[in-house]
Structures are given as C-alpha cells and as structure tokens.
Structure 1
Amino acid sequence: MPVVNVALDRLKKFLPGVKVEKALDMLPFVGLDIEGIDGDVVRVEYNPNRPDFSSDYGIARALAGLVGKETGMPKFRLSGKSGLAVKVDRSVKKVRPFVVALAAKNGKLDDETIKQLISMQEDLHNGVGRRRKKASIGMHNLDAIKFPVRYTTASSDYSFVPLAGSKEQTVEQILQETETGRVYGHLLAGAEKYPVIIDSAGTTLSLPPVINGEATKVDEKCKNLFVEVTATDKKAADDALAVIAVTLFDAGFQIKTVTIDDNGKKLETPDAATRKMSVGAGYVNEILGLNLTAKEIAECLKKSRLDAKATGNKIACTIPRYRTDITHEIDLAEEVAIGYGIYRMEPNFPVSPTSGQRSALSSYFSAIRQTMTGLGMLESFNFSLTSREVQYSLCGRPEYDILAVDGTKSIEHEVLRSSLVPSLLQSLSRNVHEEYPQRLFEIGKTFHRHDDGGKIVERWQVAAVVAHGEAGYTEIKSAMQALLSSGFGVSAITTKASDDPLYIKGRCAKISIDKGVVGTIGEITPLAIDNFKLRVPVAAFEIDLSALLSL
C-alpha cells in the first residue's frame, strides 16, 4: 500500500482552527491508516483506489469535509486557456499514442511541496499508470520551454541531458546506463523509434515513460509549471491529470488548459467536467443499516466532498473529476457512511426466531474436503474474478462468451472464471520454489452464459491438480474415482476420450456417471505448463457439482 508523509505543521495550515489530535483521530474514518509517527511527520497509508490521497493536499481536502470545516465539492476552477499547445506527430501512434497537459501559473514552491508533488507523481505512476505502462507524468519548469512543443519520436542515437545528468546521453545509453532506464526501459522494448517531447528551440522535455530532461527541471524558484501525461490509455492519462490539476490548484496555482493538436484535431486539457449520479434513500439505508432521510444523506455526501441535493427519496449527486473511484451507487453508499461517521455506527445482531444450522450444501462440501485431504491434497482458495490472461490465453483456451467486468480497475480481476483449473495452475506457478509433489484442489463457483445468451448461470465445481515429475492420467483418475465413490457413493464411472484445449490430445476424457457427463480429466498441455512457468508435468480433473448434486 502506498504511503504519504504528512507534516503536522502543514496539516495545521491546511485545517486552521482544527486541533491536530482531532484531525489525526479522523484519518481512519476516511479510509486512511497511520503507519507511524516520526517526530512531526505522520506516515499515512492509503488505498490505491483513492489516487487523490497521493499527497497531503488530498488528505487535508477529505479531512476538511469530515470535521465540518468545508463541505460540498471542493473549490476548483480552470483559469481559461493558456494559449500553449502540444503538437502530436503521427509517429507516436505506434508507440505511446496519447498525450494530455496543463499549465499551472503564478504559484510558489517550497521544499516540502516539491517532495509532495514528486511522491504524488510516483504513486500515480504506480497506481493509475500501472507502473508507467498505461500513463506516465512529466512536470517541467514552464518558463524554460519555448512553445509550441512537439510530441514526436526519435531514433536510439538521439541525445539530450537527462534529469540529474551533467552531459548528453543517447536514448540507448539512457535506457542501458541510468537507473530509471534500466527499470522502465522494457516499456519501450521492440520500438523502432522512441517517444520524446521537444520544444520549439530543440530543448528536450522528456523521454516518456522513462525520464525527463535536465533543462526543464523543477525547483523552488519555479513559479509556473507545465505538466504532460503520455499514455497508452487515454482515460488513465485524463484521470492522472485530473488529480494533478486539483492538487496544484490547492497548492495555490492557477490552472490553465493546454491545446493538444493531434494532426488538426484539437482538444483542450485537462478535462474538469463533473459527473452526475443519483441514489435512492432506501438503497443507502438498506446497505448501511441506517434510517436516514434523503436530506440527511445529502448532508453526509457533502461531508465526503461531493455536492448533493435531495428531491423526495432521491439524492442527486455531483462528483468532481478527480474522484475516479466513484462508479456505482454502492460507492455513494460508502461515501454516506464516511460522511455520517463510521465511528457512529454500531453493529447489531440480526433478529431471528431460529438457531443456525449447517446447510446441506455445506455438508456436501465438507465430505468433499475430507475425501480430498485424505488423498493428500491441500485446499486452494482463489477469487472468482481473475485475469483474462490466466483464464484463457495462458491455457490456450478460446475466448468464448466471456463474462467481463465493465470498467475494471485491475487487469488481474477483469473476468468471471468459467473453469477452476486455470486458477489452480496459477497457484502452482506461484509455488514453483516449493517441494514436489504438489497436490491441490478447490471448491468454487464458475460462471457461464445461458444457452439463450442472456442469463448468467452459476455452477459449483470441484477441481484438482497433481504436479510432479511422474504426474499423469492414471494418478489423477485414481483421485477422481476415489472422490466420486467415497464422497458420493458413485460406482458406475466411465471416461470417454475427448478433446479439450487445456489438455493434451489423446490424454483427455469426459467423466460420466448415470446422470450423464459431469466433468473433464486429463494431462495439461505443454503450452499451459510453459506459460505458467511450471517445471513438471501436471494432471487435472474438474467436476460439475451442480450437475452431480442437482443443485
């Protein structure tokens, strides 16, 4: 989790009239953890889904609402157009196609503010920018730049003085000899030309996403800043720039737009447009277990630094551009909880006239676990949401009727799994340093689209894998037969040769009982074994419990 250093003297300045002790007590109730206190500096840990917390300005902004110092949407406005432009060359389309920018004028920088901006920049790189792959940020001394600037490409022998350098180096030397070049150079691997930003005088601003130029270095003397974000994902660039814009505004700068001239198509950035969402009072109260009126909910949202207005039982909410984490009604319910005060909420036991008892399904699963552990297997637990890569491409499985998350914030949790075996292969890949043999099983849900293409069908399934130098079809079949016979009393089990892209052709079969086909079994393909970087053969089976138990 990322950490921000918050100096207590700055916190006092940001929240005049509010006792520091009260502000620190409120930190956990906006989703922040105090990692430690070093003298007059508090180390605050935050969740990456709140990139606006990547500086002490963002933390103070949230606290101001919770303590009632400032409520509603924070003050922010663009001070018009800067008259500055970035001209985009067609050659960048094959490398890093997007760029957005802003101008921040008439501000003052001190040592601590510069440290906060640098820390924010790196956190945005790692979070929104996915370690600079999706987006990377360059901050520059605007007064050292002659506009318009060009976003173009250069060959590997192009040279300039990199940040903190004293002499010119070629792009090739920067990628091989500098620390940032060695860390982020792989993002440009295979490129015939490299993205660069150059001003009208030939001064190099940056080699994105690797390093800035020394000529436009930011220091305490800078009063005007130029910020550019280059990206492979336009939304990531806009999201990062929105956080930077509101932070620089809070730091005392006037924010002006920059014209992005993409071969005649002109766009003013940053995008400061707010979003509208509405939520029902009943929904919020049901989620939180409260009994608030719509007007009270609107006041809670204002304390979470959103604008809100109650009309009847509906609350219309205005969300500032930098709040990229709010995408659904459930997010608004969370903001209500924060504004209401999580410290005010008390847990209650549900009223029930009956005592709890184990469900039949739980008993079935216990029997399966007992059988599988008796066979020397360890239970694995994996998320139902997984990556498209793990579920399909690494396994060589065709991407058919994929159930994907709309607007996912993580490529590791973008699709609902349709099979348990890929998750188990991923578990094996994370344990290649452990001793073999390795035997794992998992009981979990898989998700499928109904035959009519509409309704989503959930199925409980059990899968198992064995991995060691001699792992094969015979061993995994023996485990499968033991499970069906001991766990379910099934004796008539047949396996008929079949084809499945996850298994080796000729070493794969369908598992059938009197109820019909209930699963698959076989030896995992060399393709999947190589892709998951496994060192030994793997055999697996997967059984549909929904069919077996008529769930």
Structure 2
Amino acid sequence: MPKIETSGKLLFSLMGRTYADEQLEKYFPVAKAELDGHDEANDLYKIELNDTNRPDLWSAPGLARQLRQYVSGDNPVLYDFFSTSEVSMDDGGRKLVIDESARRVRPYSVGFAATGVTVDEDILQALIQSQEKLCWNFGRKRRSIAMGVYRNDIITYPVHYRGADPDATSFVALGMEEKHTLREICTLHPKGKEYGYIVKDAPVYPFLHDDRNEPLSFPPVINSARIGAVKTGDKELFFEFSGTGLEDILLAASIIACDLADMGYAILPVTAVYPYDTPFGREITVPYYFQEPVACPLETVHAILGQKLTGEQSVQALKNMGVFSVFEKDCLYVTVPEYRNDFLHPVDVAEDVMIGRGLENFAPEMPDDFTVGRISPAEVLGRKVQELMVGMGFQEMIYNYLGSRREYIDNMHVCGKDAIFIANPMSENYEVVRPSILPSLLESESVSGHAVYPHRIFEVGKVAYKEPSENSGVVTRNHLGFLSADNDAGFNDALAYVKTLMYFLGKDYALAELAEDSRFLAGRCARVMVEGREVGVFGEIHPAVLESWGTTMPTIGAEFDLDRLG
C-alpha cells in the first residue's frame, strides 16, 4: 500500500488547524489511512494509505482535503479552472503540440502551468513525493504515466512532444554535465538504467522541448538539467504528463492541479493539440473534467448498508466526502469530484455514503441465522479430485485469479468475448479475471524448460466469465485443469488420464467432437459429456499456442467444470 511522509507544518496548514495524534487516528479511517509513525523531533508524519482506488489521497494536500471536508461538512471545494467538452478555459496562448511521431511510442501528453507561490522545501518534497507515488503506483512504475515538473518562466511556448531518433537526439540530463543521446542516457544515467527499459525497444523515444528547441525531458526517464531542474525559490512551474492512457494522465493532471490549488497556486491551463483523434478530441485544454455523473437509487444504499437513511442524510454524507449530489425521485445523482475517477458502480456511491455518515453510526448486529460448519459438497469433490491427480503423478499448483490480456486471451489465441475485464486496473498484469486454468498452467510450463521431463501439473481452482443468464451477468465456477508436457505426449495420454479420473469419480461419460477450439490441435481433442452435458475438454495443445508461450515441447491439457461434473 502507498505510504507518504509529510511535515506537520504543511499538513496542518492545509487542514486549517493542528491535530493531536489521537485526533488524527480518529479521522484517518475516513481516508482509509493509518498513522504509521510520528517523529516529533523532525516534525515528520508517516502515513499509510489503504485504498489503491484513491490516488488523490496519496499526498499531504489530498489527504488534508479529505479530512478537512469531513470535519467541516461544508459544500465541496469548487475548482473553477477545469475545461469540459462544452466549455474551454483560456489557455493564454500556452500550447503543448503533440507530433504524429509520438503515436509510435507513448501517444498522449498533457500539461498545465502554476504560479503564485514560491517553492519552499516542504512544497518541493511534496511535489517530488506526489510524482513518485502517482507514477510508481498509479502509473505502473512509469510505464503508463510519467510526470515532469519544469521551470515555466524560462519556457518558450508552444512546448513540443514528439518521438525522437534515440541516436541523433541529445541533451544534458538532470544530474549530469555533458550531453548524451537518448539511447546513451538509458545506459549511463541511474534513472536511465531504472526506467529506460520502458522505451528501449521502441522505434523512437519520447522527447519534450520548447519552441526554441530547449530540452525539457526524455519522458519517462529523466528531466533536463536546466528547464527540468526545479528548486526552492522558483515561482512558476509547468507540469507535463505523458503516457499510454489518456484518461489516466488526465486524472493525474487533475489530482496535481487540485493539490496545487489547495496550496495557494493559480492554475494556468495549457491546450494539448493532437494531429490525430483522441477520446476527447484533437484539442484538450488541461486541467480537463471528463468524469461522467453517477446515479444510485436510495434503495440500493439501504440494501447495501442495512440502514434506512433519508435522501437528505445521504446527500450530507456524500458532502462530508467532498462529493456533490442531489436527491430526486428516490435516487441520488452524484457529480464526481475532479480529482476522482473511482465511481464505477452504485455500490461506490453507497460506500462513500457509509464513510461520510460515519462508521460509528452503524450499530453492529448479530447474525439472525446460525449454521453448523461443514465442508461443502463442492469442496469434498475438489479434495477428491486433488488426491486423484496427485495419485496419477501430477504436482499441484496454485495461481492468481487475476492476470493480463496477453496471458488469458492473446497467448491462447481466443477472442476473449466472455472474459471479465477490470474497469480500473492498477496494473496491466491484473486486468482480467481468469476465465480458464489452462493459461496459468502454460505460463508455468513456459518457464520450466530447464526442469527434467515429463512435466505434469494441475490446479483445482475458480474461474469466472460472462454469463447473460445470471442476474449479475457473470458466473464463478470451480474448475480442474491439468497439463502434461513430454516428448511423446499425445491425445492417447490425455485420454488415459481422463479415463482414470472418470473411473475413480464413478462417472459414466462419452466423448464428443470438439470443433473450433483454437487452444487445441484439430482432430486431436474432444469434449467429455456426462448425462448429455459437456463437463470438460481435453487434447493436444495447438503448436501456435505453445509458440506464443515460448515452448516447443509437445503438451496435452484438459479442463473440467467440477460444478457440472458433481
């Protein structure tokens, strides 16, 4: 979980009053935060944040904003410098021009300027920390978001963002004294060694410079030694955000802009001009408000929280969280704050009502029903299957239930139309709920080429996929998956394992043709039918799938729906 450090001077100046540690610990749960330590001698507070969906809280200004709002219960802060699709703020001639070449590496860049406050040591450390937390945690270690802070007073607009030749483009990087090419920076500079891998295989590298060709940075790696060297005493700043997802970098820009406004800065919009279409058009004046309103029936709040609140009570609870809402026709209509993008479902509205209402206002209740604990039939079957697979010489594996599109869809050569995608994943490695066990098994096989063959592995676990007939539109099932890799592994071996499994489970079964399953080799695979319904598939894994996983050893695999089999 993200951890931040801040001086008490900065935190309490933003909150409007000083709080004792006991008071902070009382209010911190509102922001899903914990006081991790207080160094009184150095006026340093260490705070752990427990909500990965709220990157706006990962800074002293963001945390102070949430606590200040909860304590006061006043109307949420109105930030009047945001553009929308209908209204665009005056950019004062400040432009960020994106070149067509940027599309080949990191296609999006936005920015804004800030002025009016002199940077001191507390502000500088807060900016550095916000940059690190947003880019590392929310920006997937700079792979999807990179943020740069620059000296705005020596920038000549428009600023240009393009894809540059890594061997022909050079500048003096921050912390260095000589010019180096972008490719050299990736191997010579400490930040290049740490982050250069993100773009090293791209045909061009991202490069940011002003209209006089003065370099600003090589995002996502390092700033320049002149314009990119922000220090105490600076009064005018330029913030640039580049990356692979436009909504993500716009949200990061909104968070930083609101933080700066809370610290007293005046925010100066900058218009990003694209030569290609984006989800928000070709010209975007940033900060830009792109969030959609959310509606939540009051009955949904009642059902989730178990307490009947009036519309007025719910509106006030949301106000305590900094969320503006109105209550009409038995429904809450929520305007999402500029610095948040975590309202994906009415349940998120109910959660904010609960926190804003105060957990202490919900009386604990003992359960009405009591049951005797015992193993469920599904667990009994699962354990029996595990014993049978171990008895046939297979090794049990345990995997994550979240993975990437590459693992679950691309490498398996399937369309993925039934796969469940996470709407706001913190990492591309955990963006899909597992629809099958076979990809997990193949991933293990792909890194086990050094081990002595044969390889026989299995897992009994859960998968989930879309199912329109279910109320929720999705279904979770208990599955068995097994895989065997060896020089002479073939269909007959897979059939032998299936026969053994079905015999000891006492199931009468039949085989049927398996058509159009890209995971298996045509003619060397089959469906397993029990009482006229399909309970599993097995066969030889298709060579194209094996190639995608980087393995060439002949492999057989099978997957059974244990809920149907039971």
TM-score (norm 2): 0.84
Kindly tell me: are residues 112 and 535 of structure 1, through their superposed partners in 2, closer, same or farther at Cα, counting changes over 3 Å?
farther
Match of 2:220, as an amino acid?
A: P
Quote how far apart the aligned CAs of 1:121 are.
Answer: 1.0
Out of 132, 135, 159, the residue aligned to residue 170 of structure 2 is: 159
Out of 172, 175, 191, the residue aligned to residue 180 of structure 1 is: 191
Contact 2:109 2:241 in 1 (8 A): yes
**2:256 aligned with 1:244, yes or no?**
yes
Counterpart of 1:321? 338
What's the CA shift string for 1:248-270, capped at 9, x where partnerless? 11121100111223359543211
Out of 140, 145, 158, the residue aligned to residue 150 of structure 2 is: 140
**2:106 aligned with 1:96, yes or no?**
yes
Counterpart of 1:7? 7
Q: Find the residue that maps to 1:197 and give its secondary structure.
A: strand
Match of 1:41, as an amino acid?
A: L
Q: Find the residue that maps to 1:218 and give its secondary structure.
A: coil
Counterpart of 2:462? 444
Match of 1:262, as an amino acid?
A: Y
Match of 2:55, as an amino acid?
A: P
Counterpart of 2:85? none
Contact 1:401 1:449 in 2 (8 A): no
Out of 135, 142, 156, the residue aligned to residue 125 of structure 1 is: 135
Distance 1:406 1:497 in 2: 30
Match of 1:54, as an amino acid?
A: W
Out of 96, 105, 111, the residue aligned to residue 86 of structure 1 is: 96
What's the CA shift string for 1:366-416, capped at 9, x where partnerless? 443444455565655555554321112223x22153434373424344445
Kindly tell me: are residues 541 and 105 of structure 1, through their superposed partners in 2, closer, same or farther at Cα, counting changes over 3 Å?
same
Quote how far apart the aligned CAs of 1:470 are.
Answer: 7.8
Counterpart of 1:333? 350
Distance 1:53 1:211 in 2: 25
Quote how far apart the aligned CAs of 1:547 are.
Answer: 4.2
Kindly tell me: are residues 206 and 349 of structure 1, through their superposed partners in 2, closer, same or farther at Cα, counting changes over 3 Å?
same
Quote how far apart the aligned CAs of 1:161 are.
Answer: 1.1
Contact 2:145 2:244 in 1 (8 A): yes
What's the CA shift string for 1:56-112, capped at 9, x where partnerless? 11111112133x135442342328533312223333232332221111011121112
Q: Find the residue that maps to 2:406 and give its secondary structure.
A: helix
Counterpart of 2:46? 43
Quote how far apart the aligned CAs of 1:285 are.
Answer: 2.1
Q: Which runs of 5+ in 1 are unaligned?
A: none
Counterpart of 2:120? 110
Contact 1:499 1:508 in 2 (8 A): no
Kindly tell me: are residues 71 and 513 of structure 1, through their superposed partners in 2, closer, same or farther at Cα, counting changes over 3 Å?
same
Distance 2:509 2:391 in 1: 22
Q: Find the residue that maps to 2:119 and give its secondary structure.
A: coil
Distance 2:75 2:125 in 1: 28
Q: Find the residue that maps to 1:520 and give its secondary structure.
A: strand
Counterpart of 1:261? 273
Match of 1:30, as an amino acid?
A: A
Counterpart of 1:64? 68
Quote how far apart the aligned CAs of 1:245 are.
Answer: 0.6
Counterpart of 2:27? 26
Counterpart of 1:211? 222
Distance 1:23 1:169 in 2: 48
Identity of aligned residues (%): 27
Match of 2:170, as an amino acid?
A: S
Match of 1:94, as an amino acid?
A: R
TM-score (norm 1): 0.87
Kindly tell me: are residues 509 and 272 of structure 1, through their superposed partners in 2, closer, same or farther at Cα, counting changes over 3 Å?
closer
Kindly tell me: are residues 535 and 288 of structure 1, through their superposed partners in 2, closer, same or farther at Cα, counting changes over 3 Å?
farther
Quote how far apart the aligned CAs of 1:165 are.
Answer: 1.8
Distance 2:474 2:351 in 1: 27
**2:241 aligned with 1:229, yes or no?**
yes
Match of 1:157, as an amino acid?
A: A
Q: Find the residue that maps to 1:407 and give its secondary structure.
A: coil
Distance 1:534 1:333 in 2: 48
Q: Find the residue that maps to 2:67 and give its secondary structure.
A: helix
What's the CA shift string for 1:500-550, capped at 9, x where partnerless? 43345665443345636532223445554554466976532212335434x
What's the CA shift string for 1:248-295, capped at 9, x where partnerless? 111211001112233595432110466432222221121122232221
Distance 2:74 2:493 in 1: 65
Q: In angstroms, what is the RMSD of aligned CA positions? A: 3.4
Counterpart of 2:423? 407
Contact 1:23 1:63 in 2 (8 A): no
Kindly tell me: are residues 231 and 516 of structure 1, through their superposed partners in 2, closer, same or farther at Cα, counting changes over 3 Å?
closer
Distance 2:292 2:457 in 1: 50
Quote how far apart the aligned CAs of 1:141 are.
Answer: 0.7
Kindly tell me: are residues 112 and 449 of structure 1, through their superposed partners in 2, closer, same or farther at Cα, counting changes over 3 Å?
same
Counterpart of 1:52? 56
Distance 2:497 2:36 in 1: 47
Match of 2:212, as an amino acid?
A: A
Distance 1:391 1:19 in 2: 49
Kindly tell me: are residues 438 and 91 of structure 1, through their superposed partners in 2, closer, same or farther at Cα, counting changes over 3 Å?
same
Deviates more, 1:370-379 or 1:273-282: 370-379
Aligned residues: 544
Distance 1:198 1:122 in 2: 22
Out of 467, 478, 481, the residue aligned to residue 463 of structure 1 is: 481
Q: Find the residue that maps to 1:200 and give its secondary structure.
A: coil
Q: Find the residue that maps to 2:231 and give its secondary structure.
A: coil
**2:493 aligned with 1:483, yes or no?**
no
Q: Find the residue that maps to 1:52 and give its secondary structure.
A: helix
Out of 198, 203, 220, the residue aligned to residue 209 of structure 2 is: 198
Q: Find the residue that maps to 2:72 and give its secondary structure.
A: coil
Contact 1:439 1:467 in 2 (8 A): no
Distance 1:37 1:473 in 2: 64
Contact 1:72 1:304 in 2 (8 A): no
Kindly tell me: are residues 477 and 26 of structure 1, through their superposed partners in 2, closer, same or farther at Cα, counting changes over 3 Å?
farther
Deviates more, 1:441-450 or 1:245-254: 441-450
Distance 1:371 1:160 in 2: 64
Contact 2:25 2:34 in 1 (8 A): no
Quote how far apart the aligned CAs of 1:218 are.
Answer: 0.7
Quote how far apart the aligned CAs of 1:353 are.
Answer: 7.4
Distance 1:469 1:348 in 2: 61
**2:325 aligned with 1:308, yes or no?**
yes
Q: Find the residue that maps to 1:109 and give its secondary structure.
A: coil
Map 1:269-284 to 2 at 5 A: 269-272=286-289, 275-284=292-301
